[in-house]
Structure formats: structure tokens, C-alpha cells
Amino acid sequence: MDPEVAAMHEVIEDLRAQLFKTVESLDEAGLNRTFPGLQNTIGILLRHVAGSEGYWVGGVVGGGSLERNRDAEFTHEPLTKETLLEGLRRTRAATERVLAGLRAGDLQMLVEVQGARGARKATKAWAILHATQHLAYHLGQIRLMATLARHPRDGTPG
């Protein structure tokens, strides 16, 4: 792997390892647990993280499918741990393939991105960094929610 791309890959892999470690001890009840004042569960955030990385790295950077139903990532239904982990593993494999094929010069190539403010041009490096920042952001949320999920619901302080 190109050294510049490898540095980005190393950060993504570190975040991903932290994500898997955070959820490994949670059961499906913990993954689907709701918390007062929050709309999302850990499971929903895991599904969203996989969808987002698939879009930004696999689609935007790698030239794969840009089809994504972002709203469906946030639907509330019971999610299974195995399905969520398999989705993350598939996304990881796709990211590995894309990053393995990139060279430093490719990082400055412009691509069309669809963001909250509409379509615009960005570099492939920006898209990878955006996906990395997004993963880190949700990892923090998931860590906090996992800590809460390990405590009983009876309202007593942990």
C-alpha cells in the first residue's frame, strides 16, 4: 500500500478496532437499548457507520455504487449483533480494496460528493478524511452508550 494511503488506513483500522472492542461484550439487548433523550441505539449507529463508510470510501473514492438509503439506516427495529458485525466486516473489506488500489497522487483527484449542502467537488483525500472523522465521532457516542448499556435501567447511579 502507498505510504500516504497506508497512514490513513492505519487510523481507520485503529478506530475500527476500538469500535469492535467496544461492542464485543454487548448483547443484542444492549445494542438495541434506547436511552432517554436519544433517538438512536448503538445498533442504529453501527448500521449508519457502515453505510456512511461504504458511501464515502467505497462509492466516492473507489468509484463504486453511490446508492444509499441514509434514512433507512436510522429506522427502529430490532437489530442482530451478527448482522451488524457482518455489515461492518463487508464495509471493511470494501475499504481495504479501495485503499489498496490508491496511490498518493490519486488522493488529490477531484470527485463529486453529495453532502448536506448539496453536490460539490472534493478531493479523494477529503472524502477519506471525512469518513475517518465520521467514524471517530460516532465511536465516541457508541462508547458512551455502551457504558450506559452495561448498567441496569432501575435509575440507580452506576
CATH 3.40.50.800 fits 3-149, yes or no: no
Contact 34, 41 (CB under 8 A): yes
Alpha-carbon distance of 12 to 47, in angstroms, equals: 17
pLDDT digits (tens, 9 = 90+) for 75-131: 999 999 999 999 999 999 999 999 999 999 999 999 999 877 889 999 999 999 999
pLDDT of residue 29: 96
pTM over 0.85: yes
Please, what is the average pLDDT of the chain? Answer: 94
